[in-house]
Amino acid sequence: QVQLVESGGGLVQAGGSLRLSCAASISMFGISAMGWYRQAPGKQRELVADIFSGGRTNYKDSVRGRFTISRDNAKNTVYLQMNSLKPEDTAVYYCHVVNYGRDYWGQGTQVTVSS
């Protein structure tokens, strides 16, 4: 029912920037929250940022001020602008959507930050 397609990952040097995109196959009307999680090798998956239907945003402390989450309702897309990237940001990033109370996940996109 819900398909999430992620893009924008890649390899970047420390201090660089990337923008992740996540496009949903349906309109935003049934979506109460969208967010980004990440999982590094050997680590637990963790919340990076999310945005709720009313526009409220939430950030992991270590990315606040560097990352910005936003959404474009006309394009059914959520973005994560990542600036001042650090090697510790290296992970697979997953888009997450809550649609009518159910959780959906994107396929993941690799972000690698070299020192």
Q: Give pLDDT tens digits for 3-21.
A: 899 999 999 999 999 999 9
pLDDT confidence of residue 29: 75
Compute the mean pLDDT over every residue in the chain, rounded to the nearest whole number.
Answer: 94
Rounded distance between C-alpha atoms, residue 58 and residue 72, angstroms: 17
Rounded distance between C-alpha atoms, residue 46 and residue 61, angstroms: 12
pLDDT digits (tens, 9 = 90+) for 24-43: 887 767 888 999 999 999 99
pLDDT-based confidence at residue 63 (cuts at 50, 70, 90): very high
Whether residue 104 is predicted with pLDDT greater than 90 in this model: the reply is yes
The SS3 call for residue 82 is: strand
Cβ neighbours of residue 27 under 8 Å, at least 6 residues apart? 76
* DSSP summary character for residue 72: E
Counting every residue written for the chain, the total comes to: 115
